[in-house]
Structure 1
């Protein structure tokens, strides 16, 4: 049994923490909204009143918060992770943030005596619930090996991709691919419906060929049902597309399709749809085609 602190108990963090409890670990959780920590306590974990209380005595600390400033907020300062964690503790940041910030915070963590890993995840809420997330990990190989027993509980595909910041770089590429796939799936469904095709049958056969993907499997039915309850919110994908477009520009890489999809995601957020699942790109595809909402 390992004592693990989980900071951030949202759509992804809470099911990850519950899976760690179910695996027999001693899990202490903190969330800015206390009711989420109480939900963890009801599942067998422990609710902490602060970041400092959560991390004291923890052998591994997982942070899962929305953006770069949020990570800074929970790790820096007198009440933060760096000031209160035990020397030698693993710090696993599962958030999706800028690669340069991940590298900077990793250096600060090492100076504080911690072992940092940037370990963003992919797989959405259902992947977190099922414990089958894909985890791309940046950091020292020895620290990666030390964290495997924890990561194996929450993920099924766990790969060390390079030094600190590399996990976030790979996650940016993941979000680029996912956004493009969702947009093309949305356009395909609008196209199929315009011709009166049996869309259930169409997605079934498309899923069995080269067009098949996890995006089609997980998001196709949501589009057909017009169910955009968030598994991963458009507002967060908008943030992620900002990360990848900025990083691409810094590297001198051109991503024309990615840039277009980033603008489409941004347009949905600007009109107030940021709380929808990212499959909500379908709504904009419909609007642009002038098709009726079901």
Structure 2
């Protein structure tokens, strides 16, 4: 059901209008929502206003009249500051507000925020996403949601404006745990594709044609579909930066430690991503793991 302007739940505040947040805000506008945005970047706010949204000015202004507020921020410290800090979301929130954190943060951060939100009568969900910048632009994100089932249903219409796969995966924090699992798989696939390219080229085989075959068989993946051509061409324009994937692998390793399990492949991939960052590749797309594998073999 498309929201109507008469519906008081039709207004969404969004804090964080970066690579992911900006196109998400625009998809909410296209779905008929009134969107109020806030970001430390003035240019990002101007982009939202040009698309038909409103500038919140600050956190209080972004919450004013919004039935739902979304944060899409880089890491746990930023989310905690924006939500729990002085002048933050919970300081200005009215009881009944639906707060959705769509950032990728530590599961314990989500639980900490949900506990503080409940004390204020605010409903909190953790709903990290997968699909990268293209998924955010196309509105085809996968959204993994942790929290109360009734709150998930209350947020479903908002989620449907942003993604095509929306799954309630468990209680608060579960969304972040699933996202950690997602990121370890994504990192591992990138590393293996990088190794496949190095092997193919060193053997005198056309890597582009070789990956075309892999993409059509059991080795096929969404990453091969989207990235094999740019990887072979060594085009690493960031859709999702090495720096952010490095942060996410830290979350995955911490989650493994908390769960008491050993994830040896995850540890190896985390080290490769750390190496990429140490080599000055942090601002490149995570497919730039190929450069690390090439340097190992040079």
Q: If the length of structure 1 is used for normalisation, what is the TM-score?
A: 0.97
- Where do 1:204-215 residues align within 5 Å? 204-215=212-223
Q: In structure 2, what is the Cα distance between the partners aligned to 1:102 and 1:90?
A: 14
Q: In structure 1, what is the Cα distance between the partners aligned to 2:157 and 2:141?
A: 14
> What is residue 157 of structure 1 aligned with on the other side?
165
The yes-or-no answer on 1:47 pairing with 2:63 is no
Q: In structure 1, what is the Cα distance between the partners aligned to 2:209 and 2:172?
A: 45
2:20 to 9, 12, 30: 12
Asked if 2 retains the 8 angstrom alpha-carbon contact of 1:182 and 1:219, the reply is no
The yes-or-no answer on 1:261 pairing with 2:269 is yes
> What is residue 91 of structure 1 aligned with on the other side?
99
Asked if 2 retains the 8 angstrom alpha-carbon contact of 1:57 and 1:85, the reply is no
Aligned-CA RMSD value: 0.9
Q: In structure 2, what is the Cα distance between the partners aligned to 1:41 and 1:142?
A: 32
Per-residue deviation at 1:205?
Answer: 1.2
- What CA deviation, in whole Å up to 9, does each residue of 1:190-238 have, x standing for no partner? 1111122222221111111110001111221221121111100110000
Per-residue deviation at 1:103?
Answer: 0.7
Matched pairs, number: 290
> What is residue 238 of structure 1 aligned with on the other side?
246
> Which portions of structure 1, spanning 4 or more consecutive aligned residues, are displaced by more than 3 angstroms?
none
Q: In structure 2, what is the Cα distance between the partners aligned to 1:206 and 1:218?
A: 13
Asked if 2 retains the 8 angstrom alpha-carbon contact of 1:9 and 1:36, the reply is yes
Question: What SS class does the counterpart of residue 272 from structure 1 fall into?
Answer: coil
Asked if 1 retains the 8 angstrom alpha-carbon contact of 2:84 and 2:113, the reply is no
Gap regions ≥5 residues in structure 1: none
2:154 to 146, 153, 176: 146
- What CA deviation, in whole Å up to 9, does each residue of 1:148-177 have, x standing for no partner? 000000000000000000000000000010
Gap regions ≥5 residues in structure 2: 5-9
2:142 to 129, 134, 137: 134
Q: In structure 1, what is the Cα distance between the partners aligned to 2:271 and 2:209?
A: 31
Per-residue deviation at 1:85?
Answer: 2.2
Q: In structure 1, what is the Cα distance between the partners aligned to 2:76 and 2:233?
A: 34
Q: In structure 2, what is the Cα distance between the partners aligned to 1:195 and 1:202?
A: 11
Q: In structure 1, what is the Cα distance between the partners aligned to 2:120 and 2:139?
A: 31
- What CA deviation, in whole Å up to 9, does each residue of 1:22-46 have, x standing for no partner? 1110001100111101101000111
Q: In structure 2, what is the Cα distance between the partners aligned to 1:272 and 1:171?
A: 26
> What is residue 285 of structure 2 aligned with on the other side?
277
The yes-or-no answer on 1:108 pairing with 2:116 is yes
Per-residue deviation at 1:86?
Answer: 2.5
Q: In structure 2, what is the Cα distance between the partners aligned to 1:64 and 1:3?
A: 17
> What is residue 125 of structure 1 aligned with on the other side?
133
The yes-or-no answer on 1:194 pairing with 2:202 is yes
Q: If the length of structure 2 is used for normalisation, what is the TM-score?
A: 0.95
Comparing 213-222 with 162-171, which one deviates more in the overlay?
213-222
2:88 to 80, 85, 88: 80
Question: What SS class does the counterpart of residue 232 from structure 1 fall into?
Answer: coil
Comparing 48-57 with 232-241, which one deviates more in the overlay?
48-57
